[in-house]
Structure 1
Amino acid sequence: MYKVLLIPFGFIYYLITSIRNGLFYFGFKKSHSFSFPVICIGNLNVGGTGKTPHTEYFIRLLKKNYRIATLSRGYGRDTKGFIIASEKDNANTIGDEPFQLFQKFKNLIVAVDEKRVRGIKNLLKLEHRPDIIILDDAFQHRQVKAGLNILLSEYNQAYIHDYILPVGRLREPRRGAKRADILIITKCPKTLTAIEMKSFTIDLKLTEYQKVFYSYVDYGDLIPLNEAAKSLSINYKSLKDINVCLVSAIANPKPLEEFILKYNSQPDIINFPDHYYFREKDYELFNTKFTNLTKQKVLLLTEKDATKLNFEKLEKIPVFAVPIEIKFHSLANTNIDEEIINYVKSY
Structure 2
Amino acid sequence: MKRLVVKWLLLPLSGLYGLVVDIRNWLFDSHLLKSYRPSVYSISVGNLTVGGTGKTPMIEFLIKRYVFSAVNGMGETATLSRGYGRKTNGFRIATGTDSAETIGDEPLQLYRKFGTQVRVCVGERRVDAILSLLRLHPETKRILLDDAFQHRAVRPHLSILLMDYNRPFYDDYAFPAGRLRERRKGARRADVVVVTKCPMNLWATEQERIARRIRRYTSPGVPIFFAGLSYSSPMTLATHQVATDLNPVVLVSGLANADPLEQYVRQTFGLRSHYRFADHYAYTRADLDVLLADLPAETVLLTTEKDWVKLDALLSPEERSTLPLFYLPVAVQFLAGQETEFTQFLDANALKNR
| 1:218 matches 2:230 | yes
Residue matched to 1:321: 327
* Correspondence 1:269 to 2:274: yes
Q: Judging changes above 3 Å, is the alpha-carbon distance between structure 1 residues 185 and 333 closer, same or farther for their aligned structure 2 residues? A: closer
Decide which of 41, 44, 48 is 1:44's aligned counterpart.
48
CA distance in 2, matches of 1:12, 1:198: 33
Would you say 1:301 and 2:303 are equivalent positions?
yes
Determine helix, strand or coil for the equivalent of 1:308. helix
SS of 2:38's equivalent in the other structure is coil
Matched, 1:85 2:94: yes
Q: Deviations over 1:88-126 (max 9, x none)?
A: 111110000001000001211011000011111111112
Structure 2 CA distance for aligned equivalents of residues 115 and 107 of structure 1:
24
Of residues 122-131 and 57-66 in structure 1, the stretch that sits farther from structure 2 once superposed is 122-131
> What CA distance in whole angstroms lies between the structure 1 residues aligned with 2:149 and 2:142?
17
Q: Which amino acid aligns with 1:252?
A: N
2:341 matched residue in structure 1: 335
- Which deviates further from its counterpart, 70-79 or 118-127? 118-127
Secondary structure of the corresponding residue to residue 294 of structure 2: helix
> Contact (CA 8 Å) 2:265, 2:271: kept in 1 or not?
no
Q: Trace 1:1-347 onto structure 2 (pairs within 5 A).
A: 1-64=5-68, 65-66=71-72, 67-105=76-114, 106-205=116-215, 206-226=218-238, 234-235=243-244, 238-240=245-247, 242=248, 244-290=249-295, 293-294=296-297, 296-309=298-311, 310-312=314-316, 315=319, 316-331=322-337, 335-346=341-352, 347=354
In the TM superposition, residue 268 of structure 1 has moved relative to its aligned partner by 1.6
Give runs of ≥4 in structure 1 deviating > 6 Å: none
Alpha-carbon RMSD: 1.9
Offset of residue 330 of structure 1? 3.3
Question: What is the DSSP-based 3-state SS (H/G/I as helix, E as strand, rest coil) of the residue aligned with 2:316?
Answer: helix
In 2, the alpha carbon distance for the partners of 1:314 and 1:271 equals: 26
* Distance in 2 (alpha carbons) for counterparts of 1:246 and 1:332: 31
| Unaligned residue ranges in structure 2 (runs of 5+) | none
- Post-superposition offset of 1:340: 1.2
Write the distance in 2 (CA, Å) between the matches of 1:115 and 1:252: 27
Task: Supply the AA of the counterpart residue of 1:158.
Answer: P
Q: TM-score, normalised by structure 1?
A: 0.92
What amino acid maps onto 1:328 in structure 2?
F
Does structure 2 retain, via aligned residues, the 8 Å contact 1:249–1:273? yes
Matched residue of 1:171: which SS?
coil
CA contact (8 A) 2:149 2:159 kept: yes
| CA gap 1:248/1:313 in 2 versus in 1, 3 angstroms | farther
Matched residues in 1 for 2:338 and 2:220: separation? 18
The CA deviation at 1:280 is 2.6
Distance in 2 of aligned mates of 1:58 and 1:16: 33
Instruction: Find the aligned partners of 2:333 and 2:224 in 1 and give their Cα distance.
Output: 14
AA aligned to 2:30 is F
> Which amino acid in 2 is paired with 1:190?
M
